[in-house]
Structure 1
Amino acid sequence: MGLMRLCFTFLLASIYFFGNIVFAQNIEIKGKVVEETTKQSLAYATVALVDSTTQETITGVITAEDGTFKIETTYDQFHVQISFMGFVSKTITNFDRSRRKIDLGIISLKEDTEQLDAVLVEAEVSSSQFKLDKRVFNIGKDLSSTGASALEVLNNVPSVNVDIEGAISLRGSSGVQVLINGKPSILTDDGGALGSITADMIDRIEVITNPSAKYDAEGTSGIINIVIKKDERKGLNGAFSLNTGIPDNNSFGLSLNRRSEKFNLFTQLGLGRRVYPRESENINEDLDTGTSILSVGDDFRIEKFYNITLGTDYYINANNVITLSGNFAYEIEDQPSDINFRALDADDNLTSEWNRSENTEATNPKWQYELVYKRDFEDHEDHDLLLSATGNSFGKDLTSLFQDTTISGTDRDNTQNTRTDYSDNTYTFKLDYTKPFSEVWTMETGAQYVINDIGNDFEVQNLVNGVFETDQGLTNNFEFDQKVLGAYLIGGYEYENWGLKVGLRLEQTDLTTVLVTTNESNKQNYTNLFPSVHTSYKISDAVSLQAGYSARINRPGMRELNPFFNIRNNFNIRQGNPALMPEFTDSYELTSIFDIGKTSLNFGVFHRYTTDVIERISVFENNVNISMPENIGTNSTLGAEFNTKYSPAKWLTFNFDFNYNQFNRKGTFESTVFDFNGNQWSSKLMAKFKLPAEIDLEAVGNHRSKVKTVQGVRSANTFLDIGVRKKILKDKGVINLSIRDVFKSRFFENFITQGNSEAYSWSRRGRFIAIGFSYGFGKGEAMEYSGGKRR
């Protein structure tokens, strides 16, 4: 606790020190930026205040999604500059600077045809933006993400970590809810499926560590919202890319967009082939007998993929827009593996050795479709209504053949078949309504209904006397049916430098799981209230303070509830628990934000208290490790977070992210006490270099500390990604080279001790090298599209 008191004292001292930088009276300037021809809002336009004498920039912001902006200053000699790529910049000098509040009204920007004719590659550097209840990470063309998926992009976002198996954590904790465009998606239910979203497709990532009542209460450590790009520039815009790499990685991507007065049509295509190798090692040891089972081997995931997105926006008029979009992806998988097993006695003598080979084939069709209606009311720029209906469907038809072949010692010959028929259908219906009653008071309300219908038909067959017979003990059809109805109400107050949001969300959950073959069912029905409070105070142009509280829930999913498992390694078995209950978390945080010259930095402290914590518990029998999730006690976490960006020169930029937390675990399971204290930390350092001849270089270093777990220890990890880019063909084309995990040092290593047994597991994906070429045509930009999937 001494370190946390020191961090909190430093935070308060920093606020006091920097808060005294400026005490002059603030002037507030606001307005709305629109496109001159269509009168549509221009999101992410740059609004800068410029010193009237020196012409130097005083401060600046980017416009919100509805084109609005609000900016404050203590200067009294300035003018306003508004700019946006592809449009003629506008400077406003005619307004009353003696007023504390200046409303510039509607500001129209005209298209710059000369600039559009020379296609530019913009947004080269990703940047962070803080809002009242979230942090927005605007995605640039980061070089180390060339040919990468959403998982690699997430790994570069402050506070977020993704391990080599695709598991996502936020501030060191799992239980993260991942959304696509603000809504649940089939792609987020399976971490690997996020690989079908590629870096070039992402506009921004919103990290919400303490979500307000407006958001689904799912996710005890917070929400990550991935917002997909949708180009809306008039005319025909497009780009294509070609990528190749080692291991085998070949893909083609095409993006097209056409905008007219009434319609905006958009599409993205991708196809290719990828190979993902993995090395692994496992050791199970019985400390009573001294016997052990060792396994070492390699497995591969070989994928062919096809992906198409189609959509259109229809502008009924200036205030009403309807969007209809759909996505179809189809994957063909081949998963061969070759694992060598060795059984040792107490004196480490080899008693038997055998090989287990796997040949798995699967097809995965995926559908996603969405209908959205948005109404902007004329009485106020923030008065709007949003209705949406989304459907997601994911299927998997998988067959596997396992063959055990004895090399020496005890006869281990065995042949097994498995069949999996999996279907996952999710439907989301959502309504959001925002009503400002004045310049300072706002109400937000809405409702959401989510239906999850999942089926997993799993069969195991053993070869007996030349005939495959169904193993009834390992075969069943698991059905998962969950419905969640939510409604929320939020009151907001914002005046001058201070803002406050208070909200309450109600969610009713109805869950039924059934093992069809044995007719075993489990029903859960519960209703919960989730309050939230968020506040912010701007001390000066350089210093802001944010604080928040929210209550969260983490409902176990199908994989955690389904008791049936695959038999890929029959000495390390993972299965679910149908009786598992949800986790509940109370989350508190306090953050300070400083913007000083060439440096911006953020420092915060946070606390989370979780009940009915879900942990995987390993049980050993005859050197077989069976892990199952259980609700075990409570977890109290106290942490500190630090982020900074510094540009010492025009050609050099550093981004640094550091996260530390210490935790206190308390719990008992089957008379075993799991009380312990621990800590963990992670850090990222990104360096960007602008070299001669228009060559850019980027290096991203990551470190994750060792951390104590319920039954053991997970090892520390350090790895490096680099990327190089060269613009060609008058900036219309881009050549990229990226190397992820340069030193092949990114791995997963875990030690488990339970009673008189120990288990060790290690795995590594290895180095990935990709080279790509992108070209933009029409009014498009060169992009970096891989179209494929990274697991």
Structure 2
Amino acid sequence: MKSLIKLFASIGIVVLSGNSLAQSEKWLISGQLTDGETGEAVPYAAVIVHSSVTHTILNGITTNDQGNFKVGTDSSAVYLEIKSVGYIPDTIRTIRFNTPHINLGEIKLFRDNQILEQVQVTAERSTMEFKLDRRVYNVGSDISSTGMGALEILNNIPSVNVDIEGQISLRGNTGVQILIDGKPSVLADEQGNALGTITADMVERIEVITNPSAKYNAEGTSGIINIVLKKEEKKGINGSISLNTGYPNNHSIGGSLNLRTEKFNFFTQFGAGYRSMPWESKSTNRNITSGDRIESEGNSIKNENFYNITIGTDYHINERNVLTLSGNFAYELETNPTQTAFYLYDENQELSSSYNRTEKTKATNPKWQYDLQYQKTFTNNKEHILQFSTLGSFFGKDQSSDFENEYLTGIASDPSQRTATDFYQADYTFKLDYTNPLTKTITLETGALYEINDVGNDYSVDNQLGDSWIPDTSLTNNFEYNQKVLGIYTTGSYEGKKWGVKLGVRLENTDLKTLLTNTNERNTQNYTNFFPSLHTSYKISRAFSLQAGYSRRIFRPRLWDLNPFFNIRNTYNIRTGNPDLQPEFADSYELTGVFLFEKLSLNISGYYLYTTNVTERVSYFENNVNITTPINVGIRHKTGGEINAKYTATKWLTLNGEANYGYFLRKGVFENQNFDFEGSQWSGKLTVKFKLPADIDLEINSNYQSAYKTVQGKVSGFAFVDAGIRKRLWKGKGVINLSIRDIFASRIRESIVDQPSYYLYSFSKRGRFITLGFSYSFGKGEAMTYSGGKR
């Protein structure tokens, strides 16, 4: 019971400290809380100082093991509010300061007999914290996240957008580095679609770092998103289990278990299920010179059986040394039936040919990773830490596809085809970090990282000729990719009561080799770069502070940017890689004002991003076929502003909102084509949370993303709405959730390329998703939600 009381009080004080102001010690109040019946001390109770004039919270503290407290205030017109689990709250309104220090003596609290024997305390709501070089989003039990995977959670984070194809952007910019627990991970690989393995119940917090310090890997021109997974710390046995069902198919069972002793902390999470992801697409290729036009309409559904388990343990060698070993394994079985109709029109706009292209794809995807970490805490300071970690991960795909063309009108010109893909990605990371607080205000950090990425993609295409299958050597390729990055860094920081600054520098060497084994085409890149960073903050008043930052970043071409591989699902719209693609570099500047009021928290940011060697996807039009490939085109200037706000209107209504606007100027020339243009882009989010009677919560989340220009055309805007409702059962041990994502099925993507000799249009849509979930906790666990929700 004491541990639960301590937990409740600690959470309460954290919440209060987020709303309180900087304190002075002009007036001091002390006393002791005791049980009114037994006379025993009441430890870990919350003592809150309120203004008698405005009734706002001025300060707060918890009592120690003997029930004693001592709290300061800068006002003499105050009253005390005292709260402790299991006791009737008390208010002391008559406080008169005859001297700067008043001792209230013994204060008796009386038990509330209606309080249940066991009280369950949960962090209900997601909250945002501002730190020197980042924003921390603590993931709560937001009901619209029921059944969500990590990509859907990210789409609820301020400044972050995830488009319908799963591409992540930060303030409208791609090139974001995704980390898991501060390290690269196969779980964060977008092309592996692996973020779907991470579900809402597994995430503790998400850190958005728009201007990362030199401590972090320099990868990601737009910044870093760090997903921190939960690691239960409760003693004893606790855990939970959940069931989900949904439409389209989203059926799963999952659970968690945690066992903690003095020396060991054993934790595991597991799940299995079946899900379906429908996809609707349309495209138009118009040859303006000849007048030819090709239309396509397609429907696809990705069906997946999945199984995953995470298991790990912390071993406390002693109070100063901890060894952690964890592992994750996931296995997926995919089928992906697709039906695409093609209509070919001649220069007179008459139908010359039409056919249906049927695809049958199946794949198996094994994924695993391990993480071994050692941490030593030095005796002089608990923040004086040496940490070594090694991470290994693997993602594989064994895929085969059959494409059959059924001609309805016209002459058969394209054969039926089949493809086979053998893909693997093995990543290894070795990291050493050392943190030394030299004084109470000055901290030194240094460390090194060595990262190996080994990837292979063996892709073959066969064309049907009569009863025989003939290899298509122009489309078949085996691509090998090997990248090694060595980085070292050092940072120094000063953090006082009003002013703080953090300065750092990072040196990274990149060694990249690619090989097309079929043609023996090689690409070798080796470069070394410095990446400085500077962050500062200043507290102007008790309600207003400023933060500023600068960092230099890099975005290295990845496998799918370099590999000439493409999918032949739609033979008139092909995406390829560019083996000669170079890295892009960005200098990021940011100034943020943070306002804290009683019911409103607000931050306003202005930023400037200067990017060189910008990577753009450019379309080429050959024989009525659209070929899209990435190239380096000039520079980009982007200037923007962002507003994030949270307003607690009443006990039952909370509003969270954000708006982001960016103006960009592009300058570049490629193959005698001028790519100079300018444009703007903005987005907005609004989340409304209602706390209803009978332990029912309702949440509505609306999003809008504007249209924006591209180097050859534009991408249209769209709006969508998610909603969720939750009912607690059995004092919170059980939870029923219902969520609807994209209520109006309005989350679409339309892109247009409008050039003098050709016009291209593409459309894609996912549709509406409904999920119903039930969760139950046992032991000292909290009800969780597990689902295989994925992009």
TM-score range, shorter chain: 0.7 to 0.9
Distance 1:738 1:548 in 2: 38
Partner of 2:684: 683
In the alignment, does 2:386 pair up with 1:377? no
The 8 Å contact of residues 213 and 503 in structure 1, kept in 2 or not, is answered as yes
Distance 1:574 1:674 in 2: 20
Which entry has the higher C-alpha Rg, 1 or 2? 2
The 8 Å contact of residues 646 and 656 in structure 2, kept in 1 or not, is answered as yes
Partner of 1:131: 131
The 8 Å contact of residues 436 and 443 in structure 1, kept in 2 or not, is answered as yes
Distance 2:442 2:337 in 1: 60
The 8 Å contact of residues 119 and 777 in structure 1, kept in 2 or not, is answered as no
**Residues 264-275 of structure 1 correspond to what in structure 2 (within 5 A)?**
264-275=265-276
Displacement of 1:441: 1.6
CA 1:657–1:369 in structure 2 vs 1: closer, same or farther (change >3 Å)?
same
Partner of 1:319: 320
Displacement of 1:116: 11
In the alignment, does 2:697 pair up with 1:701? no
The 8 Å contact of residues 23 and 72 in structure 2, kept in 1 or not, is answered as no
Distance 2:635 2:566 in 1: 27
Partner of 2:765: 764
Partner of 1:106: none
Displacement of 1:28: 14
Distance 1:762 1:48 in 2: 58
Distance 2:752 2:61 in 1: 48
In the alignment, does 2:144 pair up with 1:144? yes
Comparing 581-590 with 435-444, greater Cα deviation is found at 435-444
The 8 Å contact of residues 119 and 779 in structure 1, kept in 2 or not, is answered as no
Q: Over residues 635-658 of structure 1, what are the superposed CA-to-partner deviations in whole Å (9 max), with x where a residue is unaligned?
A: 000000001000111000000010
Partner of 2:341: 340
Partner of 2:363: 362
AA aligned opposite 2:57: T
**Residues 50-69 of structure 1 correspond to what in structure 2 (within 5 A)?**
50-51=49-50, 57-58=57-58
Distance 1:82 1:555 in 2: 56
**Residues 728-747 of structure 1 correspond to what in structure 2 (within 5 A)?**
728-747=729-748
Partner of 2:351: 350
The 8 Å contact of residues 415 and 465 in structure 2, kept in 1 or not, is answered as no
The 8 Å contact of residues 387 and 434 in structure 2, kept in 1 or not, is answered as yes
What's the secondary structure of 2:564's corresponding residue? coil
The 8 Å contact of residues 696 and 724 in structure 1, kept in 2 or not, is answered as yes
AA aligned opposite 1:436: P
CA 1:317–1:49 in structure 2 vs 1: closer, same or farther (change >3 Å)?
farther
Displacement of 1:517: 1.6
**Residues 434-473 of structure 1 correspond to what in structure 2 (within 5 A)?**
434-473=435-474
What's the secondary structure of 1:473's corresponding residue? coil
Unmatched 5+ residue regions in structure 2? 1-19, 29-43, 63-70, 102-113
In the alignment, does 2:177 pair up with 1:177? yes
The 8 Å contact of residues 125 and 140 in structure 1, kept in 2 or not, is answered as yes
Displacement of 1:566: 1.6
**Residues 567-716 of structure 1 correspond to what in structure 2 (within 5 A)?**
567-716=568-717
Distance 1:546 1:79 in 2: 34
Displacement of 1:487: 0.5
What's the secondary structure of 1:474's corresponding residue? coil
Displacement of 1:77: 8.8
Displacement of 1:470: 1.2
Partner of 1:33: none
AA aligned opposite 1:651: W
Distance 2:781 2:673 in 1: 61
Distance 1:640 1:125 in 2: 26
AA aligned opposite 1:154: L
Q: With structure 1 as the length reference, what TM-score do the two structures score?
A: 0.88
Distance 1:450 1:320 in 2: 25
What's the secondary structure of 1:560's corresponding residue? helix
Displacement of 1:410: 2.4
Distance 1:723 1:430 in 2: 41
The 8 Å contact of residues 500 and 538 in structure 2, kept in 1 or not, is answered as yes
CA 1:413–1:506 in structure 2 vs 1: closer, same or farther (change >3 Å)?
closer
AA aligned opposite 2:663: Q
Displacement of 1:79: 11
What's the secondary structure of 1:410's corresponding residue? coil
Distance 2:283 2:262 in 1: 61
The 8 Å contact of residues 73 and 541 in structure 1, kept in 2 or not, is answered as no
Distance 1:23 1:47 in 2: 18
CA 1:542–1:740 in structure 2 vs 1: closer, same or farther (change >3 Å)?
same
Partner of 2:242: 241
Partner of 2:157: 157
Displacement of 1:723: 0.2
Distance 1:321 1:47 in 2: 32
Partner of 1:495: 496
The 8 Å contact of residues 316 and 323 in structure 2, kept in 1 or not, is answered as yes
AA aligned opposite 1:480: Y
CA 1:197–1:116 in structure 2 vs 1: closer, same or farther (change >3 Å)?
farther
Partner of 2:37: none
Distance 1:263 1:189 in 2: 31
In the alignment, does 2:223 pair up with 1:222? yes
CA RMSD of aligned residues (A): 2.9
The 8 Å contact of residues 27 and 76 in structure 2, kept in 1 or not, is answered as no
Distance 1:144 1:569 in 2: 35
Unmatched 5+ residue regions in structure 1? 1-20, 30-44, 63-70, 100-113
The 8 Å contact of residues 27 and 75 in structure 2, kept in 1 or not, is answered as no
Quote the sequence identity (%).
56
Distance 1:82 1:177 in 2: 45
CA 1:325–1:61 in structure 2 vs 1: closer, same or farther (change >3 Å)?
farther
Displacement of 1:346: 2.4
Comparing 704-713 with 51-60, greater Cα deviation is found at 51-60
Distance 1:382 1:81 in 2: 33
Partner of 1:168: 168
Q: Over residues 389-433 of structure 1, what are the superposed CA-to-partner deviations in whole Å (9 max), with x where a residue is unaligned?
A: 000100000000011110111224521111110000000111111
CA 1:307–1:498 in structure 2 vs 1: closer, same or farther (change >3 Å)?
same
In the alignment, does 2:787 pair up with 1:779? no
AA aligned opposite 2:544: V
AA aligned opposite 1:231: E
CA 1:228–1:374 in structure 2 vs 1: closer, same or farther (change >3 Å)?
same
The 8 Å contact of residues 306 and 331 in structure 1, kept in 2 or not, is answered as yes
Displacement of 1:553: 0.2
What's the secondary structure of 2:128's corresponding residue? strand
Partner of 1:34: none
Partner of 1:35: none
AA aligned opposite 1:320: N
The 8 Å contact of residues 329 and 367 in structure 1, kept in 2 or not, is answered as yes
Displacement of 1:538: 1.0
CA 1:669–1:75 in structure 2 vs 1: closer, same or farther (change >3 Å)?
farther
Distance 2:540 2:119 in 1: 41
AA aligned opposite 1:178: I
Displacement of 1:60: 7.1
**Residues 33-48 of structure 1 correspond to what in structure 2 (within 5 A)?**
none
The 8 Å contact of residues 303 and 335 in structure 2, kept in 1 or not, is answered as yes
AA aligned opposite 1:50: V
Q: Over residues 308-341 of structure 1, what are the superposed CA-to-partner deviations in whole Å (9 max), with x where a residue is unaligned?
A: 0000001111111110000000000001100000
Displacement of 1:189: 1.9
The 8 Å contact of residues 265 and 313 in structure 2, kept in 1 or not, is answered as yes
Partner of 1:68: none
Distance 2:551 2:543 in 1: 27
AA aligned opposite 1:186: V
Distance 2:266 2:731 in 1: 27
AA aligned opposite 1:338: Q
Q: Over residues 270-323 of structure 1, what are the superposed CA-to-partner deviations in whole Å (9 max), with x where a residue is unaligned?
A: 000000001110000000111111000200100000000000001111111110
Displacement of 1:198: 0.3
CA 1:559–1:692 in structure 2 vs 1: closer, same or farther (change >3 Å)?
same
Displacement of 1:440: 1.9
Distance 2:748 2:340 in 1: 18
CA 1:375–1:145 in structure 2 vs 1: closer, same or farther (change >3 Å)?
same
What's the secondary structure of 1:730's corresponding residue? helix
Displacement of 1:374: 1.0
What's the secondary structure of 2:561's corresponding residue? helix
The 8 Å contact of residues 545 and 594 in structure 2, kept in 1 or not, is answered as yes
The 8 Å contact of residues 664 and 676 in structure 1, kept in 2 or not, is answered as yes
In the alignment, does 2:553 pair up with 1:552? yes
CA 1:451–1:77 in structure 2 vs 1: closer, same or farther (change >3 Å)?
farther
AA aligned opposite 1:558: L
